[in-house]
């Protein structure tokens, strides 16, 4: 008798696993609990059990019956819920699109700059936006009285602290902290005392580039900039280098890309020159190399700047720099 009880318990456990629908459940309920079901049969055979063990066996059958009833009713609730759910959801409806954020156009361009230079073996470096006078000017060969300080109107925090006016101080920080060979770009925000208009903003974004080592030449600089231009804006883009002056490079140039709007023919955006100015560059000045403890007789290098906002404006055909910083979703969502 005890064996039979155990066997039915086993059957029941198996059955619980297999029931998937309400009709399944009904069939199984009848099989176990029906008037001619397995439990009823058990009760019938109770008569064959010796008188004195009848109460104990009877209790066990009752307990099993209770257990089966409880499980069946729980399962019924669960199946009811599922069926109701399925009926109220039209599974043929198309899914609802979740609103997804995206990268700001400036970040997209910065990411692309990083990707292109990484593929050429450059590392990404970083420096503080609040800089000391030493890193922003002095170490870059611009002593206190140097007229070149006027090239950039500076926002001072205190006598000795400025909001960096360019990313060039990162050159110094990187060179001070390690030995050549070095190949880095350093994208970031810079600040100048400027009245905002379509092409000026009191803050904007640059990326510095710096390569130092043995036998680094101006030809390497040209090659890297030309390769960058082709990857960023397309093979047909031409690059032009014009002699210029920066205290921390010698010789110095400014470089321009072929106007992407008129393909160099001349238009309003390029003021009919066919060229758009990107930034400055040059061979790292011997004084700068000395300032970081390098021997200018052995080590040479080139540095370049890059206007990230300017490149974004070129790439996305934006004619006002201020709109990049207003975070108007109607604008940002277009990219
Ligand atoms: N720091 C310069 C600027 O902000 C650009 C530059 C970088 C020039 C590196 C030469 C070398 O205009």
For the CA of 209, the closest atom of ligand 1 is 9
CA distance 161 to 158: 5
Whether ligand 1 lies within 6 angstroms of the CB of 57 is answered as no
Give per-residue burial for 281-314: e unless 16+ CB within 10 Å, then b. bbbbbbebbebbebeeeebbbbbbbbbbbbbbbb
Whether ligand 1 lies within 6 angstroms of the CB of 154 is answered as no
Output the CA 169–ligand 1 centroid distance in Å. 10
Residue closest by Cα to atom 4 of ligand 1: 166
The SS3 assignment for 283 reads: strand
Q: What is the pLDDT of residue 151?
A: 67
Whether ligand 1 lies within 6 angstroms of the CB of 304 is answered as yes
Residue closest by Cα to atom 12 of ligand 1: 280
Output the CA 233–ligand 1 centroid distance in Å. 21
Q: What is the pLDDT of residue 87?
A: 63
CA angle 237, 241, 247 (to 5 degrees): 140
How is 174-191 classified by DSSP, letter by letter? HHHHSPSPEEEEEEEEEE
Nearest partner of 182 among 195, 170, 198, 200, judged by Cα: 170
pTM of the model: 0.71
Nearest partner of 117 among 267, 308, 300, judged by Cα: 308
Element at 99 (helix H, strand E) = none
For the CA of 171, the closest atom of ligand 1 is 9
Q: What is the pLDDT of residue 275?
A: 92
For the chain, domain boundaries: 2-88, 105-332
Query: Could you identify the residue written with the tokens 């393909």?
Result: 263
For the CA of 305, the closest atom of ligand 1 is 7
Nearest partner of 209 among 227, 193, 236, judged by Cα: 227
The SS3 assignment for 37 reads: coil
Ligand 1 pocket: which of 244, 247, 248 to mutate (most atoms <8 Å of CB)? 248
Can you name the residues that pair with 164 across neighbouring β-strands?
none
Whether ligand 1 lies within 6 angstroms of the CB of 139 is answered as no
CA distance 267 to 272: 5
Q: What is the pLDDT of residue 296?
A: 96
Output the CA 83–ligand 1 centroid distance in Å. 69
In sequence order, the 6+-apart residues with CB closer than 8 A to the CB of 70 are none
Ligand 1 pocket: which of 163, 166, 167 to mutate (most atoms <8 Å of CB)? 166
Tens-binned pLDDT, residue by residue, of the chain (335 aa): 888 888 988 988 898 888 888 888 899 999 999 999 889 888 888 888 888 888 888 898 899 899 999 998 898 888 888 777 666 677 788 888 888 888 999 999 999 999 999 999 999 999 999 999 999 999 999 988 887 777 668 999 998 999 999 999 999 999 999 999 999 999 999 999 988 888 889 999 999 999 999 999 999 999 999 999 999 988 889 999 999 999 999 999 999 999 888 888 988 878 899 998 999 999 999 999 999 999 999 999 999 999 999 999 888 888 888 999 998 989 988 88
Please tell me what DSSP assigns to residue 201.
-
State whether CATH 1.10.10.10 applies to domain 105-332: no
Whether ligand 1 lies within 6 angstroms of the CB of 302 is answered as no
């Amino acid at each position: 008798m005890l064996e039979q009880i155990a066997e039915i318990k086993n059957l029941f456990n198996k059955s619980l696993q297999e029931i998937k629908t309400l009709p399944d459940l009904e069939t199984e309920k009848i099989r176990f609990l029906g008037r001619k079901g397995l439990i009823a049969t058990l009760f019938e055979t109770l008569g064959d059990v010796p008188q004195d063990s009848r109460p104990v066996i009877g209790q066990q059958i009752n307990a099993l019956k209770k257990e089966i009833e409880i499980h069946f009713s729980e399962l019924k609730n669960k199946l009811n819920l599922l069926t109701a759910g399925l009926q109220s959801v039209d599974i043929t409806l198309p899914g609802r699109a979740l609103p997804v954020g995206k990268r700001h156009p400036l970040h997209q361009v910065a990411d692309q700059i990083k990707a292109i230079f990484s593929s050429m073996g450059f590392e990404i470096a970083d420096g503080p936006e609040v800089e000391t006078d030493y890193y922003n000017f002095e170490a870059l060969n611009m002593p206190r009285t140097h007229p070149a300080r006027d090239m950039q109107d500076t926002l001072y925090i205190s006598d000795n602290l400025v909001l960096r006016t360019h990313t060039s101080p990162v050159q110094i920080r990187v060179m001070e902290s390690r030995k050549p060979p070095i190949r880095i770009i350093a994208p970031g925000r810079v600040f100048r005392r400027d009245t905002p208009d379509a092409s000026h903003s009191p803050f904007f974004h640059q990326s510095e580039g710096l390569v130092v080592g043995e036998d680094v030449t101006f030809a390497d600089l040209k090659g890297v900039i030309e390769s960058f231009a082709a990857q960023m804006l397309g093979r047909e883009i031409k690059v032009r280098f014009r002699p210029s002056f920066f205290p921390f490079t010698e010789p110095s140039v400014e470089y321009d890309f072929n106007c992407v709007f008129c393909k160099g023919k001349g238009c309003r955006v390029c003021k009919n020159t066919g060229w758009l100015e990107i930034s400055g560059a040059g061979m790292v000045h011997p004084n700068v190399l000395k300032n970081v403890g390098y021997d200018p007789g052995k080590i040479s290098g080139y540095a370049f700047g890059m206007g990230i906002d300017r490149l974004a404006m070129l790439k996305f055909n934006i004619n006002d720099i201020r709109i990049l910083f207003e975070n108007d979703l109607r604008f940002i969502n277009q990219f």
